[in-house]
Amino acid sequence: MVLAELSARYGDIWGAWFAALILATLIYLGLSSLLKALQRRASFPPGETETHRTFFRSMLSIMARSNRVILASLALLIAAHASGALLPWRDWVGAHVWFALVTIQVALWLDAACLTFLSAAGADSQTGRVTTFLLAYLLRTVIWILAILAVLDNLGVHITTLVASLGIGGVAVALAAQAILSDLFASIAIGLDKPFEPGDFIVFGNMAGSIEHIGLKTTRIRSLGGEQIICSNAELLKQTIQNYKRMEQRRVVFTLHLPYGTPACTLADLPGDVEAQIKAQSDARYDRAHIARLGDWALELEAVYYVTDADYNQYMDIQQAINLGILKALEARGITLSPMERTIRLRPDPAIGPPAS
């Protein structure tokens, strides 16, 4: 009697469920075969460029996050809906379970896509790896928070109060960890803007050195003296930073102080002598040389040239060769560079009279 009542209420449920299981198996096998075919296709990309290979490797990583349990559950739901095998909770399943499964699977794909593409973008440098870690952590957290909130909202949970409470708690945590968060965001800014990278020689404030490591909170710098300087990322970005690693050429200005007794005809030839010494250097580009100023204690010859190599030792070698050449040219002309001298002349005051003998 009970079986007859159930049969009258639900119909031939056993036959429907048997058909649903067979259909679900076929759907699952079809989805699995499709994923395997796509993975094989991604394993052997048609393009030969690095961009094609990177794209297909990324797609392969994303497809690998397809959850088999979710696919089997979706196949069963599709088959049960098609065969009419569901019990009276058909509406609840159709309204909520479908949404939850699809949302979780989409979140898995987005999580994999976020991690894959950011890792590929930040694989070139240590700064990129730090930025990748931070951005991937933040974006993946946002993805899963949104997925959970979407599922809860679909289940009928009022998430407005929950979101408000999370916001208040987030503000409290942010205030408590303000210094740490400041350094973290500074690290992200360094990774995105790339004002410097490991290996760059920088000068900031009264410090100078080469970047060794850029971390989540601090940056380690090796100074010229050999000691390691550790500076917080936030404090470092507040400074005006000079990055010498990216200098394509070096502009050099130097001044010669010539004695006032030098004849004018000789002075007229000296800029040409300086020009000849600069042009004799292979990595130097001459700009100008002039008797620029009549100084308080000497005539000032100002010269400007460019070093086409950013290496500091190369610059010093060139400057030394120019200096020696100029000294030889001055020596040949009988000119001695004028040192800075001040002469103090004392004049007796008539009101005081001559000094006592």
pLDDT of 47 over the 80 cut: no
pLDDT at residue 4 tops 50: no
* Percent of the residues in the chain that have a pLDDT greater than 70, as a whole number: 70
Beta-bridged to residue 290, according to DSSP, are 302
pLDDT digits (tens, 9 = 90+) for 112-139: 888 877 776 665 555 556 667 777 778 8
In this prediction, residue 279 carries a pLDDT of 94
Question: Residue 240 — φ and ψ, nearest 5°?
Answer: -85, 115
* Prediction pTM value: 0.54
Can you point out the beta strands (E) in the chain?
A: 201-204, 207-214, 218-223, 228-232, 241-243, 250-258, 284-294, 299-307
Quick one: angle between helices 126-154 and 98-121, nearest 10? 170
Summarize the confidence of residues 26-55 as an average pLDDT.
Answer: 66
Task: Count CA atoms closer than 13 A to 132's CA, side-chain side.
Answer: 17
Sign, Cα dihedral of 262, 265, 271, 272: negative
Instruction: Give 286's pLDDT tier (boundaries 50, 70, 90).
Output: very high
Higher pLDDT, 184 or 111: 111
Amino acid 134: pLDDT:
72
pLDDT per residue over 223-239, tens digit each?
988 899 999 888 888 88
